[in-house]
Structure 1
């Protein structure tokens, strides 16, 4: 296991029946909530003040954790999730802190361990008063720490460039006559995949700052995105990655959150679903004045009963 950084935070969870999805695998919703909580603890351990989620840069899902009966036995086999290396390993970037997250799953009967997910998040320190928080640098103790420091800078550069390219494409797509139309005969209209869901933020959904817990918002987004993808594959889609997960503003207990998900495109064995989240308080709800608080792009695939990847149909706007 090696020496653990003093900035590391470890969280363990047992995968129970309530956490399992239709295929017996750990649902992405609980996993996203645990990941956000563990990473937030790591950020606050370094900052010494409260921190809030700013973004999840790149979440990759590699291996499924399962809840299942042990073979030839009535004993139930539980898995443990080990959240390791959830630590701010990089030099300060003003009041923000990148945090690396690694999730592994371990079979309690065999002790076999596999990587479930790897992700990188950015947290912003929340000052006590109106002042600005300046985070102290983290001492880099190993060659791995130095590598992660360099990679964090590179990810930030790529992320900023990605946003600029995305904004440019959005501007160009708004020009008259610049829309792409799929002429394929059997293409499915993306409107068929549109899903809207409304959630009321209750006290159990709040974090220790009084805002809506970011992990809970991510879980809700994953739910509507999964329903959207299922309308194409007529199966239970499997979340493989989340990109450009950005929090644009906070929401609070009592807010109504409206989630809109729609398939953007399909790529043979995978499908990308875009999700937009808008928040309303009571007054904004009546006046139809939403606050855009979050957006993300989620990629899914699906398998048949033999575990073979399904092919998604082509889509058209």
Structure 2
């Protein structure tokens, strides 16, 4: 039973936090693992907003670190469901740094995660489709099927 498709905008989620010294390495930049934890958390929230069910992370791919985030800067994350399959959702996450004193922002990481919706017994369950509205959402949606095929191929090759 397929549920009615929902606008991508419904899953769009934002998170901002301040980077403190305990969050950083000896270069005074945030630990990569800390960024990955933020990405997983916001992807989970976006996926749950989309399907209104518990979810688990099935994969994380195309995780690209582009620039460091320094102590004292803000980390800003944005996530949204780009595409769905039967029980899975692809979530795109964009990470940027913000210098709170100057207002300068720069992209620092991006990733795609696959989240699986679970029913009351912890088994995968059907998720609603997505409706892209903006040009960016349409591009993400159109390229998602290809990313899905590559993920499945990679999984088989392991």
Same structural fold, with TM-score higher than 0.5 when normalized by the shorter chain: yes
1:211 to partner: Cα distance: 1.0
* Greater helix content: 2
Aligned to 2:83: 265
Aligned to 1:313: 128
The question of whether the paired residues in 2 share the 8 Å contact of 1:233 and 1:310 is answered with no
| RMSD of Structure 2 on Structure 1 (CA) | 1.6
Aligned to 2:147: none
Alignment size in residue pairs: 131
Aligned to 1:53: none
Are 2:28 and 1:210 aligned?
Answer: yes
Aligned to 2:108: 293
Residue in structure 2 matching 1:282, options 79, 95, 100: 100
- Aligned equivalents of 1:282, 1:304: Cα separation in 2: 42
Residue in structure 2 matching 1:226, options 35, 44, 50: 44
1:274 to partner: Cα distance: 0.2
Structure 1 pair 284–221 and aligned structure 2 pair: CA distance change class (3 A): farther
TM-score by length of 1: 0.40
1:266 to partner: Cα distance: 0.3
- Aligned equivalents of 1:307, 1:195: Cα separation in 2: 24
- Aligned equivalents of 1:269, 1:186: Cα separation in 2: 14
- Aligned equivalents of 1:302, 1:186: Cα separation in 2: 15
Name stretches of at least 5 consecutive residues in structure 2 with no aligned partner.
133-158
- Aligned equivalents of 1:192, 1:222: Cα separation in 2: 18
Aligned to 1:195: 13
Moved over 4 A (4+): none
Are 2:1 and 1:186 aligned?
Answer: no
Which gives a bigger RCO, structure 1 or 2 (Cα 8 Å, sep 6+)?
2
- Aligned equivalents of 1:198, 1:274: Cα separation in 2: 16
Name stretches of at least 5 consecutive residues in structure 1 with no aligned partner.
1-184
* Secondary structure of 1:284's aligned partner: coil
Are 2:62 and 1:244 aligned?
Answer: yes
